[in-house]
Amino acid sequence: MAQQAQKEDLPVNNKAHISAVLPEHLSMVWDDIKFLIHRACKRSNGRHTTETVYKQILNQQQQLWIIISDSTDKIIACATTQIMSYPTGLNMLEVVLLGGSQKENWVEEGWEILEKFARANNCSGLQAVGRKGLRYLTVKVDEGWEEKAYLFEKKFKEYK
């Protein structure tokens, strides 16, 4: 499925802007976001590594979004998303990884931009599975989000 990504920066507010990073431009920003991706991957309990995320972005299996501070022109946060297609035909844009700082400068408008991307790619909505703290980036800032469940897991001793 070809995803439609915005090629230009989209102003979030007067403090930050968000930009989709096309796969062919990934190497231009990777050194600036590698640590943020690494930190998010550490919380994935072995589901993702910086290397697998890099490859998935290059192969268009995930999309990369960066948030840039207008005052410093530096990347302050990033997220990766993927379109999840379920057997029922339902498509959802899933936030896979999210990390950074200064959320008050970008989170609300960032969700709006991701929603536009999701709609442009025939998704019925957004979804995210994450730690308890994700509620402060979803249900606490947008009444459209519903807190349905957390993901809990038990790893067998031989796989820890």
Question: What's the one-letter identity of residue 97?
Answer: L
What is the pLDDT, as a whole number, of residue 43? 87
Does this model's pTM top 0.85?
Answer: no
Question: pLDDT tens across 93-118, in order?
Answer: 999 999 999 888 888 889 999 999 99
Are the C-beta atoms of residues 92 and 80 closer than 8 Å to each other? Answer: no
- Round the average pLDDT of the chain to a whole number and report it: 87
d(CA 110, CA 13): 10
Question: pLDDT tens across 44-90, in order?
Answer: 888 999 999 999 999 999 999 999 999 999 999 999 999 999 999 99
State what percent of residues in the chain have pLDDT above 90.
Answer: 62
CATH class of domain segment(s) 10-141: alpha beta
d(CA 64, CA 62): 7
> In this predicted model, which residue has the larger pLDDT, 5 or 64?
64
d(CA 15, CA 104): 10
What is the pLDDT, as a whole number, of residue 147? 84
DSSP state of 111: H
- Which residues have C-beta within 8 Å of that of residue 130, sequence separation ≥ 6? 43, 95, 98, 151
What is the pLDDT, as a whole number, of residue 11? 52
What is the pLDDT, as a whole number, of residue 132? 78
3-state secondary structure of 7: coil
**Token pair of 94 as six digits:** 């899933």
Q: How confident is the model at residue 1 (pLDDT cuts 50, 70, 90)?
A: very low
**Token pair of 92 as six digits:** 């959802």
d(CA 109, CA 118): 14
State what percent of residues in the chain have pLDDT above 70.
Answer: 87
Closest residue by Cα to residue 81 from 45, 15, 126, 119? 126
